[in-house]
Chains A and B, each alone.
Chain A
Amino acid sequence: MAIQYLLILNRQGKTRLAKWFTGSYNEEERQGLIEDVHRLVSTRDLKDQSNFVEFHEGKLVYRRYAGLYFVMLIDFVDNELSVLESMHFLVEILDSYFDNVCELDLVFNFHKLYMIVDEIFLGGEPHQMLKKQVLRRLEYIDSISL
């Protein structure tokens, strides 16, 4: 199982996070992909449609949390449900870390956002799924980052 990329976009399509776990796209392709993904995901119905949609050579797993779309591209063979769960895990961590996270938190603390993502995903694999531990580490890292 490998996530190819993780995007956090707002409803207008502005990128809040773009984490590429593969080197197969150049900068231009990446911007194009972000636009395509946003166009596709933002037109889908929230209530009546599933959180999976086929896209290029894989599947997008996405979910909208308030004004933000969290999107991951995975392979066809991957377990969509599990990936969705890991995405939710990330959001829960963000919510605890920023204490009721909102888009602005992510805008101003984008570098922290990347750090958090790195604590959970490595090379496209979720590798740390213990909420308490992740939060404790983050706290500690913050304390030595001053």
Chain B
Amino acid sequence: MGSLKLFVKAVRKAKTIADERTVIRKESAAIRTSFRDPNLDQTTRRVDISKLLYLYILGEKTHFGQVECLKLLVLPRFADKRLGYLAAMLLLDENQEVLTLLTNSLDNDMKHHNKFIAALALNCLGNLASPELARDLYANVEEILKLSNSVYLKKRACVVAAKLTEKEPDLGDVFAPMIPTLLEDKSPLILSGTCHMIQAVYNYCPSFQPDMVKLIPKLIAHFKRIISTGYLPDYDVNGVTDPFLKVTLLTTLRTLAVNANCTADDQEQLNDILTQVVSNHDSGKNAAHAVLYECVKTIFAVNSDQSLRVLGVNILGKFLPIKDNNTRYVALEMLLTVIDHEPLAVQRNRATIISCLADGDISIRRRALELAFAIINEQNIRVLLREILSFLGSCPDVELKPYITSQLTICAAKYAPNEKWHFDTLTRMLKLSDNHVTPDILSSILALIMRCQDAELKKHVISNLVQAGLEDPAQYGLALVTVWSVGEYADLILGSNIEIDGQPVAVDENLLLHLFDLFSNNPNYSEQESTQILLYMLTAALKLSAKMHTASAIEQLRAFINLKSTDNNLEVQTRALEYKQLFMQHESSKQGLLARMPAPPIKEREGLSLQGKAKVAPPSASTSHSTTEDLLNLLDDDVPSQPQSATQQNNNDLLSDIFGGLSTKDTKNTNTMPATQDLSSNGIEGFKNSHLRVAFIPKQFGNGEATADVEITAVDHGVSIDRVQILIAVPKSQKLTITTTSGSDSLVTSNVIRQSLKVVGAAGSKLKLRVKLKYNANQSEHTDQFDFAKFTSTL
């Protein structure tokens, strides 16, 4: 076996992975053999261990060397100890049994007169601190902290003490009382270590929190001293004196100052020092930014006064135009978290935030975008949405687009200065959004159009849509909205003028049919999108047949529907065939059928967040629903105005959602009750098939609470029914508990299964249940589902 260097070289020389494996395997085997030699001399062992470490770095198995490295570190030579401890730190971790073998060596070495050896042991303990080691060896650390006069050891001991306290919080009893003395030391290194101790004790030993909070004045005094000492070449990092210590001090102060025991005086002192630090550090270099950033974090974490908070936001504002990506990144991130505290101050940085939308870094763009939406209000919505729309048009990040469209719809609905602007904005959004608009956004836009009372405005909107659709027929969302609107409101715009490429063009029936042509044969759509548009167009074509008057146009519509009645897609074909029938109906019956849709209610949409933190708080929806008879709130995400297919699908999804979400909980509660007596004759029948009958017996209603019993009985006693499971869902605004019972879930052994329900909700609301029934009849599984709303009383 050669030296470590030769081994490393051999590994590097290997041309293929297979070669490398061979070299590694050979060496690994050789090391194992060598370890087995009882007369292994120290030099060889050292070489072996160093090779073993190289294997470790390569990701190889090294467990066989664990004991060998312990043997190495007991040797007296520094070189051996160094390698031994290094190996121990790498090859062992705090979860391993072997660690106990280390205790003795650590104990001895921490007492070693050579501070470098003691430091090795301290390092090792700090890295491998297991609760056992912590309990066994805390006394050594304590001794170093008390007696050693070496800064080199003491600062390490501070950090190690912090680590041990984290692992074994009882040690707070030992270390917490030492902190005040340690704080007397003026050495920056020990101060920094002590800060770590304070944080560990504060976070892990709640009983010492009041004591730690009392240290605030001392920490502030230290901080003042550090700021006033000025330039120290040794501690200088890019023109900032010891930024690391400052950051540590700030973090520690922040940890302590949020405690309720922090006095007003301390707060004031802290505010003072923060102001000083902020004014003492000019932005420019990363080190200075780190300190300033920590200040801002502290300002918003502790209860600082308003002027300071504004100052904090201004610092962040100054960060935004800085060229360094990192600084911009943290500034935006921080602004996002402080917007709730100081909305106005954040507002003032609008221009810089917007300019970050053009940043090269997607994470910066994303944060800027989120921030831009967060600062929108009535006053600035015009400016901001203009910027956001132009960003939407140029934005290279496909994954941001759905977020933009959805947030934009919400903001526009919330802050639109007038209806016309609102519609124009939405139209512009549709023009730019490709297919990144979700169906619910489309349907809410359609709902808005339907609700629009102003005929002139409606005409303006539809004309705009048609114009936009003619200009760019490849925009999926736009196409859907346009097709639908034309079908519904073609009569409003027929005969008016729109402008295309600066030329006025009269809107006539041919133009609209041309528009449909553009949509139906557009190669830009995916298959799914084409089908969706086709379905919309069929409906629109049918509706248009009642609105158009020229024979040729009507003939074209008929031809279109006819053509689709042989379409490959089943749904399209079915629809076309149905419409074909309708098309042939007499004019008078068609008029009624094809009348305009009634305007649906507008749904509140919840704001999204790109980072999982709720930023836009939606107004609570529950208030508006409590008194209405809203058919199960559960279904309130229905797309109100779309062709049937979409609605249908949505319903199904929701159902599975309801049951997917609830079933586990309900199943647990769904036990059954032995039949004591036959009560099935009374109650309201909710469901009956050839096997089972389910009846509801109302018990107590009123005061926002309702109780009822459910009884399941067998219809045909010749069929053996067992494993009956009943799952019940109520609207979101109500809460259901299914209670009791004991007994079996079989109708073979008993003749009734009884459950009692308790529903809590807003007083006066109706009780509606959706029930899913699962059971085995003669060994085969059945599932049934029904809705039940026959309770006459309300909650």
Contacts and interface: CB of A to CB of B under 8 A. Distances in A.
Interface of A: 1, 15-18, 20-21, 23, 31, 34, 45, 47-53, 79-82, 84-86, 88-89, 107-108, 110-111, 114-115, 118, 122-123, 125-133, 137, 140-141, 144-146
A141 B116 contact: yes
Contact of A111 (B83, B160, B359): B83
Interface of B: 5, 8, 12, 50, 53-54, 57-59, 78-79, 82-83, 86, 89-90, 93-95, 116, 122-123, 126-130, 152, 155-156, 159-160, 162-163, 189, 192-193, 196, 234-235, 237, 242-245, 247-248, 251, 286-287, 289-291, 293-294, 297, 325-330, 359-364
Given A1-B251, A31-B59, A89-B237, A128 B289 contact: no
Given A51-B326, A52-B326, A123 B290 contact: no
A81 B86 contact: no
A57 B781 CA distance: 44
A40 B746 CA distance: 55
Contacts of B245: 129
Contact of B360 (A16, A48, A108, A144): A48
B363 A17 contact: no
B237 to A, nearest CB: 6
B15 to A, nearest CB: 15
Contacts of A132: 234
Contacts of B192: 127
Contacts of B159: 122-123, 125, 127
B86 A114 contact: yes
Nearest first, the 3 closest Cβ-Cβ pairs linking A and B are: A48-B360, A81-B290, A50-B325
A28 B156 CA distance: 30
A127 B116 contact: no
Contacts, number: 147
A25 to B, nearest CB: 9
B361 A50 contact: yes
Nearest to A131: B234
A79 B290 contact: yes
Nearest to B92: A23
Contacts of B12: 107
B59 A108 contact: no
B50 A111 contact: yes
Name the residue among A23, A47, A126, A127 with the largest chain B CB count within 10 angstroms: A127
Contact of B155 (A110, A128, A144, A146): A128
A105 to B, nearest CB: 12
A111 to B, nearest CB: 6
Nearest to B12: A107
Max chain B C-beta neighbours (<10 A), residue from A49, A53, A79, A144: A79
B58 A15 contact: yes
Contacts of B156: 122, 127
Contacts of A34: 59
A122 B362 contact: no
A94 B463 CA distance: 69
B57 A115 contact: no
Contacts of B5: 108
Which of B5, B54, B326 has the most chain A CB atoms closer than 10 A to its own CB?
B326
Contacts of B328: 50
Nearest to B126: A123
B325 A111 contact: no
25 contacts: A17-B57, A23-B93, A34-B59, A49-B363, A50-B329, A52-B329, A52-B330, A80-B329, A81-B330, A82-B243, A82-B290, A82-B294, A84-B290, A107-B12, A111-B53, A114-B86, A122-B127, A122-B156, A123-B126, A123-B159, A123-B160, A125-B162, A125-B196, A127-B155, A128-B189
